[in-house]
């Protein structure tokens, strides 16, 4: 063990694990973590935004700990596991002389540092990317049955972590197209597909809701060089922090000495180019390109070992970077260290404030898949995010959480209200108001299917009831939301419908009613790009019951 891993390496690894565990236990959840914690309360093979690996990590963590550490424990373990895998991936006779340099290099990569304790889909993505590369490296010299099997299992784990993992597999394959002639490679793919088939089935059963949202329904905006392309380039710098210049230099000077080195370069350049092209269509989020941290850590460490000048500067800047990141991590636990507020600050306070006022009454948050799970995590009380046509779909749109508050007295919270029975500030001192509602009901899962009738300006609306109970048609209102070409809602109007069968007064369970309608002319916007139909129980805003329908040819 000490031959492969020097004592100094194991010591620093133990220090890192301890640091991450303390950080995980004493840093409040961020909103995305609360949302993924909510995933884990009902384990499934898929979720609205992501596959199920992040939920599995949280579920396992909760078996050992409660509170924040019960969300993050597995992230701490996978993080140190990633360091171990990266060390194994570097074959160099002198690497044991530069253990401290290795830790400074990897620790200074800002997002890899953060994902050492935060539980997000990118945490397992980084670990399984490193494991995939290690197994691929061994596969190149020994394509035995067990290596092949493990390679297939790891590819499945990659895809269960995040859909972007497909890029890892794709670019490694493109670096060695001869893999297509090896039956062992096809066996690995077969194992991966077999293990991933439960998620494929989940997607099928949920009408490919995740794919449809990410590819077609997600709002966008008009292209801006500063926000899109320049923002993407800034994100590239942010991933590597103060060491960006030397990490970038190591990539430029790296050489393809073997098929594995070629795979590292293909993966790095492939991801960079893919998202650079994407930046001309939509804003690229920083975490989307985090996977290049793994091949770049290997390339940069090799360069550091072999280049004395770069090694000296990377060591010096690495120390500065590590000190700054340690201070930032302390700030995450104790906000007064910096005059900046982050989403990990103040959540317990606003939750406690609201909970003190409402007690055990369930809370319905309007358009907030962020606040809803955060409140439930810190109180244990059921919540619901009631998404309307001005927001977007999320896990609350497809799961059974609506039934937890149906027919009950609830507090309905909206940031759009100017008064209410209850008020509370969030951590940024934005004031929210809530009103108590008795016998709460909503019908967000009603499906509005719109088709154009042949000729004229008449459309047909089919309203399908997926619930196990009947719904009075007199209790429903219909609306239309007009969006721009980027699916951003700009105007919402009442939709006047004509029932095809006027005598029908009840929408029975698992049944459909039919309407005809003509689109009202928008009053505030010209030339809308899309429209979508919304349905609401009277007194509530309309939901996201239909898909965006293109108006322009």
pLDDT tens digit string along 491-513?
Answer: 999 999 999 999 999 999 999 99
- Averaged pLDDT score across all residues of the chain: 93
pLDDT digits (tens, 9 = 90+) for 20-52: 999 999 999 999 999 999 999 999 999 999 999
pLDDT score recorded for residue 2: 53
CATH number (domain holding residue 466) = 2.60.40
Token readout for 46 is: 């898929």
Q: Is 241 left (phi over 0), alpha (psi -120 to 50) or beta?
A: left
Looking at the domain assignment, is residue 382 inside a domain?
yes
Residue 43 and residue 71 in one domain: yes
Residues 332 and 370 in one domain: no
Cβ-based neighbours of 41, under 8 Å, separated by 6 or more = none
Q: Check residue 416 and give its pLDDT.
A: 84
Kindly provide the b/e burial profile for residues 53-82, where b requires at least 16 CB atoms within 10 angstroms of the residue's own CB. bbbbbbbebbeeeeebbbbbbbbbbbbbbb
Choosing from 279, 309, 336, the residue where a domain stops is 336
Domain boundary among 402, 437, 472: 437
For residue 273, the model assigns a pLDDT of 96
Residues 313 and 416 in one domain: no
pLDDT at 452: 87
Check: CB of residue 440 under 8 Å from CB of residue 364. Answer: yes
Asked whether 453 and 512 are in contact (CB, 8 A), the reply is no
Residues 155 and 295 in one domain: yes
* 342 domain-assigned: no
Cα 81 to chain center, whole Å?
Answer: 22
Nearest to 545 by CA among 97, 217, 231: 217
- The tens digit of pLDDT for each residue in 53-92 reads 999 999 999 999 999 999 999 999 999 999 999 999 999 9
**How many of the other CB atoms lie within 10 Å of CB of 183?**
10
Checking if the pLDDT of 552 tops 90, the result is no
CA dihedral 394, 214, 276, 106 (to 10 degrees): 50
CB 401 within 8 A of CB 418: no
State yes or no: pLDDT of 1 exceeds 70.
no
| Position 146 in a domain | yes
Residue 185 CA neighbour count, 13 Å, CB half: 15
Share in percent of the chain as helix, strand, coil (round to 5): 55, 15, 35
Residue 344 domain flag? no
pLDDT higher than 80, residue 333: yes
Pairing of strands 363-366, 383-386: parallel
Q: 467-493, pLDDT tens digit by residue?
A: 999 999 999 999 999 999 888 899 999
**Statement: residue 553 has pLDDT above 70:** no
**Sheet containing 458-464: order of strands:** 447-452, 458-464, 512-518, 497-499
Mean pLDDT of the 221-227 span: 85
Q: How many domains does the chain have?
A: 3
Contact criterion met (CB below 8 Å) for 378 and 348: yes
Query: Can you give the residue range of the structural domain that contains 416?
Result: 353-437
Residue with tokens 């959540």: 347
* Per-residue confidence (pLDDT) for residue 247, from 0 to 100: 93
Task: Write down the pTM of the prediction.
Answer: 0.94
Q: Are residues 374 and 459 in the same domain?
A: no
**Residue 438 confidence (pLDDT) above 70:** yes
The answer to whether residues 254 and 326 belong to one domain is yes
Separation CA 368–CA 331 (nearest Å)? 26
pLDDT by residue (tens digit) across 237-251? Answer: 999 999 999 999 999
Could you give the strand order of the β-sheet that contains 422-425, starting from the edge strand earlier in sequence? Answer: 383-386, 363-366, 410-414, 431-437, 422-425
Residue 153: pLDDT above 90? Answer: yes
List the Cα angle 172/314/3 in 5-degree steps: 65
454 shares a domain with 404: no
Same domain flag for 199 and 321: yes
DSSP category for residue 46: B
Kind plus residue range of the DSSP H or E element containing 537: strand 530-537
Of residues 156 and 219, more confidently modeled: 156
Listed residues 282, 310, 336: the one ending a domain: 336
Q: Is residue 347 part of a domain?
A: no
Q: 359 in a domain, yes or no?
A: yes
pLDDT tens sequence across 165-210 = 999 999 999 999 999 999 999 999 999 999 999 999 999 999 999 8
Q: State the Cα–Cα distance between residues 371 and 463, nearest whole angstrom.
A: 30
Decide: helix, strand or coil at residue 374.
helix
Q: Are residues 174 and 232 in the same domain?
A: yes
> Does the residue 442 lie in any domain?
no
Check whether residue 253 and residue 171 sit in a common domain: yes
């Amino acid at each position: 063990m000490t031959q492969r891993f020097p004592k100094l390496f194991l010591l620093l690894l133990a220090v890192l694990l301890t640091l991450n565990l303390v950080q995980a236990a004493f840093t409040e959840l961020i909103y995305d973590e609360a949302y993924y914690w909510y995933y884990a309360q009902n384990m499934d093979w898929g979720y609205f935004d992501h596959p199920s690996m992040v939920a599995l990590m949280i579920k396992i963590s909760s078996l050992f700990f409660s509170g924040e550490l019960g969300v993050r424990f597995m992230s701490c373990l996978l993080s140190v596991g990633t360091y171990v895998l990266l060390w194994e991936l570097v074959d160099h006779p002198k690497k044991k002389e530069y253990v401290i340099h290795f830790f400074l290099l990897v620790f200074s990569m800002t997002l890899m540092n953060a994902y050492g304790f935060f539980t997000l889909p990118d945490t397992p993505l980084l670990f399984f990317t490193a494991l995939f590369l290690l197994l691929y490296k061994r596969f190149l010299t020994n394509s035995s049955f067990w290596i092949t099997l493990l390679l297939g299992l790891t590819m499945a784990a990659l895809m269960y972590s995040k859909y972007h993992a497909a890029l890892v597999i794709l670019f490694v394959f493109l670096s060695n197209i001869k893999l297509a002639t090896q039956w062992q490679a096809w066996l690995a793919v077969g194992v991966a597909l077999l293990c991933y088939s439960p998620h494929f089935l989940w997607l099928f059963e949920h009408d490919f809701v995740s794919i449809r949202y990410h590819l077609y329904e997600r709002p966008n905006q008009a292209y801006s060089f500063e926000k899109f392309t320049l923002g993407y380039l800034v994100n590239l710098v942010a991933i590597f922090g103060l060491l960006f210049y030397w990490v970038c230099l190591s990539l430029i000077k790296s050489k393809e000495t073997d098929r594995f080195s070629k795979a590292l370069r293909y993966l790095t350049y492939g991801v960079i180019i893919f998202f650079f092209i994407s930046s001309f269509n939509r804003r690229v989020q920083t975490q989307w390109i985090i996977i290049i941290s793994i091949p770049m850590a290997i390339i940069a460490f090799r360069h550091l070992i072999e280049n004395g000048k770069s090694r000296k500067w990377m060591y010096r800047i690495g120390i500065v970077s590590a000190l700054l990141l340690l201070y930032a991590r302390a700030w995450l636990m104790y906000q007064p260290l910096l005059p900046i507020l982050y989403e990990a600050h103040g959540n317990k306070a606003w939750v406690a404030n609201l909970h003190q006022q409402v007690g055990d009454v369930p809370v319905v948050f309007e358009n907030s898949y962020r606040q809803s799970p955060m409140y439930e995590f810190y109180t244990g009380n059921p919540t619901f995010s009631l998404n309307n046509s001005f927001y977007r779909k999320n896990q609350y749109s497809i799961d059974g959480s609506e039934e937890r508050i149906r027919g009950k007295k609830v507090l309905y919270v909206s940031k759009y209200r100017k008064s209410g029975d209850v008020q509370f500030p969030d951590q940024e001192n934005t004031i929210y108001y809530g009103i108590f509602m008795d016998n709460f009901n909503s019908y967000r899962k009603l499906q509005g299917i719109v088709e154009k009738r042949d000729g004229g300006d008449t459309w047909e609306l089919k309203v399908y009831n997926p619930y196990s109970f009947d719904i009075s048609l007199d209790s429903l209102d219909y609306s239309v939301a007009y969006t721009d070409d980027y699916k951003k809602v700009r105007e919402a109007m009442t939709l006047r419908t004509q029932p095809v069968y006027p005598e029908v007064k009840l929408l029975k369970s698992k049944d459909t009613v039919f309407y005809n309608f003509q689109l009202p002319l928008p009053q505030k916007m010209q030339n809308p790009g899309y429209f979508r139909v919304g349905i609401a129980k009277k007194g509530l805003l309309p939901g996201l019951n239909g898909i965006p329908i293109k108006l322009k040819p």
